[in-house]
Structure 1
Amino acid sequence: MLNQIKAIIQYFLPKQLLTCMFGWLAEKEFGGLTTLMIKGFIKLYKIDLSEAEFENAQDYKTFNQFFARHLKSNARLIDDSESSIVMPADGVISQFGSIQEKTLLQAKGHFYSLDALVACHPDMIKYFTNGSYVTTYLAPSNYHRFHAPFNGKLKEMIYVPGSLYSVNKATTENIANIFARNERVICLFETEIGPVAQILVGATIVGSIEIKWEGIITPPREGIMKRWNYPLGINVEKGEDFGCFKLGSTVITLFAQNSIQFMDTLKIGDTARVGQKMAKIN
Structure 2
Amino acid sequence: MKIVHQEEINFLLTNRIPRRLACRIIGWFSKIEQPLVRDISIGVWRFFSDLDLSDAKKTRFRSMHDCFTRQLRPGARPIEADQSMMISPCDAIVGAVGTVADGEVFQVKGFPYALADLLGDAEHAETFHGGCYVTLRLTSSMYHRFHAPHACHVGSVTHIPGDAWNVNPTALRRIERLYCKNERVAIRIALSDTGHPVTLVAVAAILVSGIRLRFLDLTSGRRGQPRTFACNAFLQKGEELGWFEHGSTIVVLAPAGFSLSGGVQLGRTIRMGQPLMQLAGRSSAHGVARSASH
Q: Same fold (TM over 0.5)?
A: yes
Q: How does 1:136-147 map to 2 (within 5 A)?
A: 136-147=136-147
Matches of 1:220 and 1:9 in 2, distance apart? 28
Match of 1:249 in 2: 248
The answer on whether the counterparts of 1:207 and 1:218 sit within 8 Å (CA) in structure 2 is no
Match of 1:51 in 2: 55
Match of 2:114 in 1: 113
Deviation of the 1:131 alpha carbon? 1.5
The answer on whether the counterparts of 1:114 and 1:129 sit within 8 Å (CA) in structure 2 is no
Pair 194,173 (structure 1): closer, same or farther in 2 beyond 3 Å: same
Q: How does 1:164-183 map to 2 (within 5 A)?
A: 164-183=164-183
Matches of 1:137 and 1:190 in 2, distance apart? 23
Pair 218,205 (structure 1): closer, same or farther in 2 beyond 3 Å: farther
The answer on whether the counterparts of 1:22 and 1:207 sit within 8 Å (CA) in structure 2 is no
Match of 1:203 in 2: 205
Match of 1:270 in 2: 268
Match of 2:62 in 1: 61
Deviation of the 1:32 alpha carbon? 2.5
Structure 2 gaps, min length 5: 281-294
Out of 39, 42, 45, the position equivalent to 1:35 is: 39
Matches of 1:144 and 1:7 in 2, distance apart? 21
The more displaced of 39-48 and 191-200 is: 39-48
Q: Which letter maps to 2:80? A: D
Match of 1:279 in 2: 277
The answer on whether the counterparts of 1:6 and 1:171 sit within 8 Å (CA) in structure 2 is no
Residue 78 of structure 2: SS of its match in structure 1? Answer: coil
Question: How many matched pairs?
Answer: 274
Deviation of the 1:121 alpha carbon? 5.0
The answer on whether the counterparts of 1:52 and 1:70 sit within 8 Å (CA) in structure 2 is yes
CA root-mean-square deviation: 2.1
Matches of 1:265 and 1:11 in 2, distance apart? 33
Q: How does 1:76-225 map to 2 (within 5 A)?
A: 76-120=77-121, 122=123, 124-191=124-191, 192=194, 194-215=196-217, 217-218=218-219, 221-225=222-226
The answer on whether the counterparts of 1:156 and 1:187 sit within 8 Å (CA) in structure 2 is yes
Matches of 1:28 and 1:9 in 2, distance apart? 23
Deviation of the 1:106 alpha carbon? 0.9
Pair 186,77 (structure 1): closer, same or farther in 2 beyond 3 Å: same
Match of 1:234 in 2: 233
Query: Cα deviations across residues 19-44 of structure 1 (Å, max 9, x unaligned)?
Result: 11111112232232212212332343
Q: Which letter maps to 2:17? A: L
Pair 177,167 (structure 1): closer, same or farther in 2 beyond 3 Å: same
Q: Which letter maps to 1:228? A: F
Q: Which letter maps to 1:251? A: I
Matches of 1:115 and 1:26 in 2, distance apart? 34
The answer on whether the counterparts of 2:14 and 2:206 sit within 8 Å (CA) in structure 1 is no
The answer on whether the counterparts of 1:79 and 1:277 sit within 8 Å (CA) in structure 2 is yes
Structure 1 gaps, min length 5: none
Pair 67,265 (structure 1): closer, same or farther in 2 beyond 3 Å: closer
Matches of 2:9 and 2:109 in 1, distance apart? 17
The answer on whether the counterparts of 2:116 and 2:122 sit within 8 Å (CA) in structure 1 is yes
Normalising by structure 2, we get a TM-score of: 0.87
Matches of 1:62 and 1:199 in 2, distance apart? 28
The more displaced of 175-184 and 187-196 is: 187-196
Residue 128 of structure 1: SS of its match in structure 2? Answer: coil
Matches of 2:265 and 2:99 in 1, distance apart? 14
The answer on whether the counterparts of 1:77 and 1:276 sit within 8 Å (CA) in structure 2 is yes
Matches of 2:195 and 2:269 in 1, distance apart? 25
Query: Cα deviations across residues 46-99 of structure 1 (Å, max 9, x unaligned)?
Result: 3222211102xxx21122111100001100000011111111111100011101
The answer on whether the counterparts of 1:112 and 1:177 sit within 8 Å (CA) in structure 2 is yes
Matches of 1:196 and 1:52 in 2, distance apart? 29
